[in-house]
Structure 1
Amino acid sequence: METMERLTQYILREKLFTSQDRLLLGVSGGKDSMLMAFLLWKLGYSIAIAHCNFKLRGVESELDEQLVREFSETHHIPYYTTHFDTKLHAEEHKLSIQMSARELRYQWFENLRQTHHFDAIAVAHHQQDHIETVFINLARGTGLRGLRGIASKRDQIIRPILWMSSQEIAQAVATYQVPYRDDQSNFSNKYVRNKVRLDILPQFRVLNANFDQIMLDNIERFTDSYDLLQRLTGAMREKLFISIDGRIEIEKILLEPYLNDTSLLFELFRPYNFEKNVLADLAESGLHKTGSQFESESHLLMVDRTHLLLYSSNHTPVETQYLEQGDAYLAISGRTLSFSISTDTTRDAAPHTAKVDLEALIFPLMIRRWMPGDRFIPLGMNSSKKLSDFFIQRKVPLLEKERVPVLINGNGEIIWIVGYQLDNRYRIKENTKKVATFVYR
């Protein structure tokens, strides 16, 4: 089957893009990316070429840039280029040269994609890159997830020639007489990927001449196993992890049957980046210690009375703000408290709404978090209650208290425990003429 026909079938099978999509191609000048550009141009897709000059190889980098530019001009393909001080970026961000170049390249590609409204970014990874990535991930300890190699499509990044071997690429380049330049750094084992490519994988090919195909079959099995695991744990997570008002609640009694299987716990909590040893501590003793907290790089897990409470680490307590009579709203921790005045004296029982007697208000009003010693008179009662006791009775989680705004009158009295309870002193009365309405969403 002809190369272009196989490429067309791969694009359709993997659902990489449609004939209407505009593609930005990352083209270095090497054999792989030049062939990708030629094939997609020959097939008539709407493409543009982006070339990065990393200033790492002196005149060789300039010749690479010249080749890609001339190819683009010859074939009337829109062309973008940029120059990077890759070594300086690596030093400033404490990265390897390879990681620095990768970060700079993909950031620039994405900026171009958004600025010029491209639908996808095409890069020229192929079969051997796929296999090398598995070995690199194996050495890094990424687990089953890393043994899937390189995805044909992830977010806006697509890899149209991932199906091609190095031999097929070399043959196609010769057949179509595609110009290219070799990057001499690819023949040095100084870098990790090159060491895998040049030193390690050839030894496996000596052991078995069909090694590459065996590895591709293995990768397919690894991917199937990983996908099956994600489907099973995803279904469990959907039942156990209940999203409520910006947090996730997990009923402890439902989680207990899985505590003896740390591997399963790890998969259940994988989207929240908890380490296995942290989950082992949780399983061993933390589940029964109310108030215990466990942290990952992105989330905080807190043990409450009957539930585990999972919060994003960007959670912040309510900050003190003031509301003037002329203000229409306040932004509070990602939500909005709106304020309006009317003569509508009908009561509203919705927890996110409070309607109070306007004449009782002394502006500016204050919004703040609760404080020890706070007291208020709950609606319908005559005696005051500690806010801390109110939270306990309502079973408000410990960390959640920090997210509950408290609306304070100019005289220091609590008007409303926002979203929970109105103070009885500020209710609408028979002689109320003007009503202040607060809505928290």
Structure 2
Amino acid sequence: MLDRLKNHIAQKLPFLNNKKLLLATSGGLDSIVMAHLFNELDNPIALAHCNFQLRGLESFGDQNFVQDFAATTNIPLFLTQFDTEAFAKDYKLSTQVAARDLRYNWFYELLDTENYDYILTAHHADDNIETFLINLSRGTGLEGLVGIPEQNDKIIRPLLHFSRAEIANYAKENNIQWREDSSNASDKYLRNKIRHDLVPLLKELNPHFISSFQKTQSYLQESQAMIEDASIMVYQQVVRQEENEIYFDLNQLLKLPNYRSYLYQWLHEFGFTAWDDVYNLVDSQSGKQVFSAEFRLVKDRNSLILSPIDFNAEKEEYLIEKEDQDVKIPLKLSFCKVDDISILTNTTIFVDADKLSFPLVLRKWNEGDSFQPFGMEGKSKKVSKLFKDEKLSLIEKENVWILWSENKIVWLIGLRQDERFRIDNKTQNRLKIQLEE
């Protein structure tokens, strides 16, 4: 097994040579065998053990075992303890997700603070089969069937091509001791049911099931790579990006025979899960939205617009004092007195400074806001009506900032000045307000 591991590293993971490696070590069979194997190689290694305090004295027994193992083999050890259940409760996570987040956050912290290059975990071929079957039973896209990746950023899984049986045989041949996790014997968890009941049956039906499965998964991975390549090519025809917003051209999208598959490929990484709602958005009226935890997808006429959710947008309000000549946040505005005025533009207005009441206020629009459009004395207009006339999308509306003096709009920035602050024959102090690029 050691020779096979050396050959595999040379062929598939050559970048590990001479790197400092941090081995995730639970004390169980897989991680202890991995530690023995890598202790025979030339890499500088260290063990990292997490005590999640989920199994009472048994958890501390695992900790003591790993400490003794590290001392016996002279391998450096990093050790930490977590109150996993409290963390899960505080952040409303399942225990398993909480343990995973705590573990990997700590691993990455060790990489930075202790100058290690990669994290090694002891996932093996049987873990891959179990994950495949779990995802299959719950319903999944192709990405849920391609298996556990051998490399994911700084996380490397060098034993993925070895079976649990091979690992157990190596331990037996080399008199390696390990700790058994009592929770692995319980059929309380879906993974254990699959491990104890389903996988043995599949191996009984086909003695070469693992190698056959690995071939199938290899084909699936190739198919996934092909899909990703095609997705990138089509993406360039359908999508354009403007600052923080991504626009999907529905006219181009609907020419695709399998446009739903492309939408899924492009959007699943943004956390969307209500796929029927996402697909129905294509035929919905403008203004309809679908949300993930951090993003939203909006239908706007002939586009779907993807943007991050701004959780603070409605609360933002900025004051501008009379002495302020330059404003940097949230927009770049300049204020200066002038003797002459030029033509109004979308980015420059001229106002009667004596009609202003300071501090001025910058904020987003609210439903019901109204103003007097420049050139329309005595006539008010709802801001929402202007937005409709200008054919602004929902996201464009939300990006409009308004300059206020007391309770009166001075300027819908980038769109329209208010009539009430215009310069007239009685104006003595002319103020130029400009939106800077």
Same fold (TM over 0.5): yes
Percent same amino acid among aligned pairs? Answer: 32
Query: What is the aligned partner in structure 1 of residue 365 from structure 2?
Result: 370
Name the aligned partner's letter for residue 337 of structure 1: L
Pairwise mapping of residues 338-349 of structure 1 onto structure 2 (< 5 A)? Answer: 338-339=332-333
**How far did residue 282 of structure 1 move?**
3.2
**How far did residue 232 of structure 1 move?**
1.8
2:285 is aligned with 1:311: no
SS in 2 for 1:392: helix
Name the aligned partner's letter for residue 197 of structure 2: D
Measured in 2, the distance between the counterparts of 1:265 and 1:152 equals: 27
Query: What is the aligned partner in structure 2 of residue 324 from structure 1?
Result: 321
**TM-score, L = length of structure 1:** 0.80
SS in 2 for 1:249: strand
Measured in 2, the distance between the counterparts of 1:12 and 1:83 equals: 31
Counting matched residue pairs gives 426
Tell me which moved more, 42-51 or 295-304: 295-304
Which digits, 9 at most, give the CA deviation of each residue in 1:190-226, with x for residues without a partner? Answer: 3222221111111011111101111111111122222
Tell me which moved more, 220-229 or 429-438: 429-438
Contact 2:241 2:247 in 1 (8 A): yes
Query: What is the aligned partner in structure 1 of residue 281 from structure 2?
Result: 282
Q: Could you tell me which runs of 5 or more consecutive residues in structure 2 were left unpaired when the two chains were aligned.
A: none
Measured in 2, the distance between the counterparts of 1:177 and 1:12 equals: 28
Name the aligned partner's letter for residue 12 of structure 1: L
Pairwise mapping of residues 6-405 of structure 1 onto structure 2 (< 5 A)? Answer: 6-9=7-10, 12=13, 17=16, 19-20=18-19, 22-87=20-85, 97-174=95-172, 178-258=176-256, 262-272=260-270, 273-283=272-282, 285-286=283-284, 289-314=285-310, 317-318=313-314, 319-325=316-322, 329=327, 331=329, 336-339=330-333, 354=348, 359=353, 362-371=357-366, 372-378=368-374, 386=381, 387-405=383-401
Measured in 1, the distance between the counterparts of 2:430 and 2:186 equals: 84
**TM-score, L = length of structure 2:** 0.81
Q: Could you tell me which runs of 5 or more consecutive residues in structure 1 were left unpaired when the two chains were aligned.
A: none
Contact 1:316 1:403 in 2 (8 A): no
**How far did residue 90 of structure 1 move?**
5.5
Name the aligned partner's letter for residue 365 of structure 1: L
**How far did residue 265 of structure 1 move?**
4.3
**How far did residue 237 of structure 1 move?**
2.7
Measured in 1, the distance between the counterparts of 2:317 and 2:62 equals: 57
Contact 1:10 1:160 in 2 (8 A): no
SS in 1 for 2:241: strand
Measured in 2, the distance between the counterparts of 1:210 and 1:437 equals: 74
Measured in 1, the distance between the counterparts of 2:163 and 2:342 equals: 72
Which digits, 9 at most, give the CA deviation of each residue in 1:32-75, with x for residues without a partner? Answer: 21222233343333433211123344444333222322333344
RMSD between aligned residues: 3.8
Query: What is the aligned partner in structure 2 of residue 5 from structure 1?
Result: 6
Measured in 1, the distance between the counterparts of 2:225 and 2:41 equals: 33
Name the aligned partner's letter for residue 318 of structure 2: Q
Contact 1:354 1:416 in 2 (8 A): no
SS in 2 for 1:257: coil
Contact 1:302 1:309 in 2 (8 A): yes
**How far did residue 278 of structure 1 move?**
1.5
Contact 2:350 2:430 in 1 (8 A): no
Which digits, 9 at most, give the CA deviation of each residue in 1:333-385, with x for residues without a partner? Answer: xxx3245566899989996x64757955542111122354532555xx57677
- Quick one: structure 1 residues 363 and 268, their matched pair in 2 at CA, closer, same or farther if it must change by over 3 Å? same
**How far did residue 260 of structure 1 move?**
7.5
**How far did residue 164 of structure 1 move?**
2.0
Measured in 2, the distance between the counterparts of 1:96 and 1:382 equals: 60
Tell me which moved more, 244-253 or 142-151: 244-253
Tell me which moved more, 210-219 or 338-347: 338-347
Name the aligned partner's letter for residue 181 of structure 2: D
Measured in 2, the distance between the counterparts of 1:307 and 1:264 equals: 15
Runs of 4+ with deviation above 6 angstroms: 91-94, 342-351, 429-434
Measured in 2, the distance between the counterparts of 1:92 and 1:375 equals: 47
**How far did residue 316 of structure 1 move?**
5.4
Tell me which moved more, 150-159 or 116-125: 116-125
SS in 2 for 1:209: coil
Measured in 2, the distance between the counterparts of 1:346 and 1:10 equals: 72
**How far did residue 8 of structure 1 move?**
2.4
SS in 2 for 1:303: strand
Measured in 1, the distance between the counterparts of 2:88 and 2:361 equals: 48
2:418 is aligned with 1:418: no
- Quick one: structure 1 residues 178 and 342, their matched pair in 2 at CA, closer, same or farther if it must change by over 3 Å? farther
